[in-house]
Structure 1
Amino acid sequence: MQPLQLAVLSTSRIVDEFLQHLSDMPEISVQALCCRPQSGEKARDWAQRYGIPAVYTDEETCYRTGGFDAVYIGTANHLHYSAAKRALAAGYHVILEKPFTGTAAEARELYALADEKGVMLLEAITTYYLPQYAFLKAELPKIGPVRGAMASFCARSRRYDDFLQGIWNTTFDPACQGGALNDMNVYNLHLLTGLLGVPKRAEYRPSRAENGIDTAGTVLLDYGDVTAAALAAKDSEGINGMVLQGPGGRLVVEGGTNALPVVYSVAGGVRGGGTRTDGPQTNRHRMAYEFAEFARIIREGDTAAEQAARARTLAVMDLLDTLHNG
């Protein structure tokens, strides 16, 4: 089976992580790195280290030269929309990191452009493609109607100390669409809406720094008969995971909601009792599962899967619009 031929845009931290685990992703083959001129030396070093044939410091040249089928975009958040628009306009499939775009309107514009060009546009949100997520979906009906729902994803950013010292970085700049909601809570939102659906109402209660960036915050998702809480922080550590509970038992995630490292269900609503069923254990890097599926979707032209992914992305983008503007 021919792997998906990929160009990678950016030399960001997420791209660094992605490249470090290429050996875990035989479904793809990186043919080019493209970055800003000031990052060229880093890109050339990575290309030599990982056996990537080409390095470009100009997108137009990269796209004109080609030799790949899709572009994976891992730029800073505020550059997602414009970078994806250029890659789509050049006729390439696009895999775009989360958070997808700055607004739902931008997301819909990109999907319209993808349709016009006859290519696919997919969001790199790891959660849905993990086998643990499929386990949670299958076990959910067994706990009965959900009566409590909490998710947490908190990690003190390596850039937070720089921010406190007045050193600029995109993560803590509101103009660059950073912050806890976009960078961390987006995983909680994808997980909760994927399992529970779109809420009737939603509100965001952030902790903000002097420049207005949300360094932490809690989202409340009102489903009428239950309210789910989603906590995220980039300024402090927490206990990460998720609990959904109902009369018939509970579903539990231990660890980050971007990786779902440990999942299990407990059947039975008696205090101190119940039967635990452990979910699957993954043996690949968390990003390997999404890229394996992206390669399949693009290779097979699976428009149904692309449309399902599109619907999930737009549901969360609409929700983010509400939370940012509320």
Structure 2
Amino acid sequence: MPLKLAVLSTSRIVAEFMAHLTEMPEIQVTALCCRPQSEAKARAMAEAHGVPRVFTDEDACYAAGGFDAVYIGTANHLHYTAAKKALEAGYHVILEKPFTATAAEARELFDLADRKGVILFEAITTPYLPAYRFLRDNMGNIGPVRGAMASFCARSARYDDYLKGIWNTTFDPACNGGALNDMNVYNLHFFWGLLGMPEECEYRPSLGQNGIDTAGTALLYYPDFCAVALAAKDSESEKFASIQGPGGYLMLHGGTNSLDEVYAVLGGIRGGGTRTDAPRATRHRMAYEFAEFARIVAEKDRAAEAEARTRTLAVMELLDRLHADDVQ
């Protein structure tokens, strides 16, 4: 039986999720909930994807029921309050990245989920993609890591408005926007799962007219090497990541949110070595995180839930440290 889901928001990420529902047999969307001003958009989305009910009030939606979990795809600054309301109503929650504004908020929400006996899960694509297991499995083959870098840069469609002084949530500091929260969070998940928590870290942002980080580089210091994580919403470049050691290197062509082309080159020197390619995704990148969420709920897999929670809290703590540094 698919997991019955209510979806909160009609945001861009929600629209992308809804467009690929046919690739997610583990999920059945039975309700959409939105702000009153977005009702027409929600009803059009519901009609297009066969969703039977639309609500413009969260309390009414949760009281009506007919679903087991809530997917929250609201603007970043609304994540905490929206998740808290859904959890208090007794529903499992899958919450978009960045999970919350602070690690303290994240811990509070997980404590609430425990008290309610429900699952709280971060909607982060990276660790659930097929190629990510390949990367983990090959970390030992490259030997001690000597360097790592990731670049995830894409000029936002909203950047031109921002330059005109129109601040949407993407470029509004009050809305938890910016390149670190929106883009570099994928690089942080990518590195944390493969390299662990750095001993030290610092953030070097490029600041826009209102103080938002339109781009920025996170430097993650490990005992024997440094990992560099670059993200930008004001400019474009090829997306990639690499991790290298004496025995070879691991390479990604594409964003750390999708892992489009991943391979390992092991052995040999000066361009030699044997290349092995990772399995490619056969479904939309979001399908894998939702499949895992549905499985954890159905099987009550507390070990997998604990692993996901550990990852989320670690990355939130890393974000806290980087935001606190924020050297201009």
Same-fold call, TM cutoff 0.5: yes
Alignment match, 1:121:
120
SS at match of 2:45: helix
Per the alignment, residue 43 of structure 2 pairs with: 44
1:264-279 mapped onto 2 (5 Å cutoff): 264-279=263-278
Contact 1:87 1:94 in 2 (8 A): yes
**Letter of the 2:288 counterpart:** Y
Q: Equivalent residue for 1:91?
A: 90
Q: Measure, in 1, the Cα distance between the counterparts of 2:322 and 2:116.
A: 32
| Residue in structure 1 matched with residue 69 of structure 2 by the alignment | 70
Q: Is the 8 A contact 1:95 1:121 kept in 2?
A: yes
How far apart, in 2, do the equivalents of 1:210 and 1:154 lie? 19
Task: Give the Cα separation in 2 of the matches to 1:148 and 1:197.
Answer: 14
Q: Hey, what's the Cα distance between the residues in 2 that align with 1:13 and 1:282?
A: 22
List runs of 5+ in structure 1 lacking aligned partners. none
Task: Determine the C-alpha separation between the residues in 2 that align with 1:140 and 1:96.
Answer: 29
**Structure 1 ranges of 4+ moved more than 6 A:** none
Alpha-carbon displacement from aligned partner over 1:146-205 (angstroms, at most 9, x marks no partner) = 001001100000000110111220000000000000000000000001100000001000
Distance in 1 (alpha carbons) for counterparts of 2:307 and 2:94? 15
Write the distance in 1 (CA, Å) between the matches of 2:323 and 2:250: 29
Provide the rounded CA distance (Å) in 2 between the counterparts of 1:272 and 1:214. 37
Q: How far apart are residue 283 of structure 1 and its match?
A: 1.3
- Report the Cα distance in structure 2 between the residues aligned to 1:269 and 1:144, rounded to whole angstroms: 13
Question: Are 1:262 and 2:261 matched, yes or no?
Answer: yes
Aligned counterpart, 2:207: 208
Partners of 2:149 and 2:271 in 1: how far apart? 20
The residue correspondences of 1:136-285 to structure 2 (distance < 5 A) are 136-285=135-284
Alpha-carbon separation, structure 1, partners of 2:38 and 2:96:
19
Computed over aligned residues only, the root mean square deviation of the Cα atoms, in angstroms, reads: 0.5
Distance 1:129 1:161 in 2: 33
What's the secondary structure of 1:41's corresponding residue? helix
Identity across matched positions, percent: 71
What displacement does 1:269 show? Answer: 4.3
Shift of 1:210: 1.8
Determine if contact 1:104/1:318 at 8 Å carries over to the other structure: yes
Question: More displaced, 176-185 or 267-276?
Answer: 267-276
TM-score (norm 1): 0.99
Give the distance between the partners of 2:143 and 2:107, measured in 1 at CA. 35
Residue identity opposite 2:281 in structure 1? T
8 A contact 1:150–1:243 mirrored in 2: yes
Q: In 1, Cα distance between the equivalents of 2:49 and 2:214? A: 35
Match of 1:22 in 2: 21
Partners of 1:243 and 1:128 lie apart in 2 by 16
Alpha carbons 1:150, 1:242 under 8 Å: kept: yes
Query: Structure 2: how far apart are the matches of 1:152 and 1:110?
Result: 31
What residue in structure 2 maps to residue 312 of structure 1? 311
Q: CA deviation at 1:133?
A: 0.2
Secondary structure of the residue that 1:222 maps to in structure 2?
A: strand
Q: Is the 8 A contact 1:7 1:30 kept in 2?
A: yes
Alpha carbons 1:8, 1:72 under 8 Å: kept: yes
Distance in 2 (alpha carbons) for counterparts of 1:211 and 1:168? 9
Indicate yes or no: 2:107 matched with 1:108.
yes
Report deviation, 1:281.
1.4
> What CA deviation, in whole Å up to 9, does each residue of 1:245-265 have, x standing for no partner?
000000001001000000000
* 1:144 maps to amino acid: G
Contact preservation (8 Å) 1:247, 1:269 = no
Matched pairs, number: 325
| 1:97-122 per-position Cα deviation (integer Å, ceiling 9, x unaligned) | 00000000000000000000000000
**Partner SS, residue 237 of structure 1:** coil
Question: Tell me, what secondary structure is at the counterpart of 2:291?
Answer: helix
Q: Which one-letter code corresponds to 2:223 in the other structure?
A: G
**2:294 is aligned with 1:295:** yes
Unmatched tracts of structure 2, length 5 or more: none
Instruction: Give the Å deviation of 1:282.
Output: 1.3
